[in-house]
Amino acid sequence: MKTSSEAANPSVAVMQRHSLHGETMGTRYSALFFAAPGVDEAAIGQRLFAAVDNVDRQMSSWKADSDLNRLNAEPINEWITVPAELLAVLETALRVGRQSRGAFDIGVGDLVHSWGFGPARGAIDVQAITARNDGVQRAASDILELDPVQLRVRKRAEINLDLSGIAKGFGVDQLAACLDSFGITRYLVGIDGEMRARGSKPDGSPWAVAIEKPVRGVREVAGVMELVDAAIATSGDYRHWVEHDGRSYPHTMDASGRRPASNRLAAVSVVASTCMLADAWATALLALGETEGVKLARDRGMEALFTLHDGDGFQEIHVG
């Protein structure tokens, strides 16, 4: 039996399913799409890898020669030319930072390192943490000056930028743009758990994205989110964390408190128009916590799922 969409457009029925994947940013990317017979899968695969590799080379904190680390190392009060993609991510990061009242802040690189996260993956530097708590913390939006016309950035003070809360989402958007350039209009692309869908499947059904149960050391599906022309990203406390003084701390930083997020939230999933926005807002809402985060999501009309620790189990709050 043909669906109504197939009857209206017979070419939909002969679309072929393709699945491509590879490694990037310390994890894996994937692209599932439907296209007419004869599509050059090899060329698409090469372009997909090039897209995410370009993001990694520009925005990685782990690559010493990335454009991000070059920007971090440059002196203050000097204009630095950066790639257009990096500038676009910086613009969005600063905007979300302001809209989240500082909950999302890319100027937490030193804080990330002090707590044993980041490329060093070392022990917690208690002395450095104490020193930073005693100092004045300025938001990245107060320090960075962007010139989108000439693709330049200037730092007004020393700052160590970290894009781990937004770059992966942007990478997913670049995968989407790659398939768009080939005229492909039915796809689901992702990097790890950050996903973006365009259109629906040929039978008209939405794309199903698994929401992971926020339990450390276990990969189980807690539920499914259906997507059509939307993106989803999740931040949580169950993938990367450190133990300190008998407590567990996630890798997501609360910039205002100058420490890892400390609240009841186990995970936050956000649905948005782009994966870059979903990624940044999931990070911001996790840092804000179960009260302020939920309030801000409702005030902004966002679609989000908050999963809270509740004894030995979990409690969910749906917004939107």
pLDDT tens digits, 208-266:
999 988 887 777 787 899 999 999 999 987 666 666 665 666 667 777 666 777 788 99
Of 212, 210, 211, 182, residue with least CA distance to 198: 182
User: What is 66-155's CATH superfamily?
Assistant: ApbE-like superfamily (1.10.3980.10)
**Three-state DSSP class for residue 260:** strand
Task: Report the alpha-carbon distance of residue 85 to residue 81 in Å, rounded.
Answer: 12
* Token pair belonging to 67: 């454009």
Whether residue 157 contacts residue 138, with contact meaning beta carbons closer than 8 Å, is answered with yes
Task: Report the alpha-carbon distance of residue 227 to residue 206 in Å, rounded.
Answer: 6
Tokens 């060093």: give the residue: 120
Mean pLDDT, the chain, integer:
88
Q: Is the pLDDT of residue 12 over 60?
A: no
| Torsion sign over Cα 248, 253, 259, 265 | negative
Q: Among 27-41, 115-129, 182-196, name the one with the lowest average pLDDT.
A: 115-129
β-partners of residue 29 are 22, 191
Q: Among 88-92, 204-208, 237-241, name the one with the lowest average pLDDT.
A: 237-241
**Three-state DSSP class for residue 256:** coil
Task: Report the alpha-carbon distance of residue 298 to residue 162 in Å, rounded.
Answer: 27
- Domain extent listing, the chain: 66-155
- What is the average per-residue pLDDT within 104-132? 72
pLDDT per residue over 152-173, tens digit each? 999 999 999 999 999 999 999 9
Distance (Å) of CA 102 to CA 24, 97, 319: 29, 5, 21
Between 128 and 270, residue with greater pLDDT: 270
Distance (Å) of CA 48 to CA 32, 110, 170, 206, 311: 12, 32, 13, 23, 43
Tokens 């530097």: give the residue: 125
Of 115, 97, 229, 264, residue with least CA distance to 165: 97
Distance (Å) of CA 164 to CA 87, 108, 152, 154, 223: 15, 10, 21, 21, 25
Q: At 218, which amino acid appears?
A: V
Helix axes 167-181, 275-299, angle to 10 degrees: 120
Rg (CA), the chain: 20
CB-CB neighbours of 56 under 10 Å: 19
Query: What pLDDT does residue 5 have?
Result: 38
Sheet holding 152-155, edge to edge: 80-81, 152-155, 144-147
Distance (Å) of CA 306 to CA 131, 282, 292: 33, 9, 12
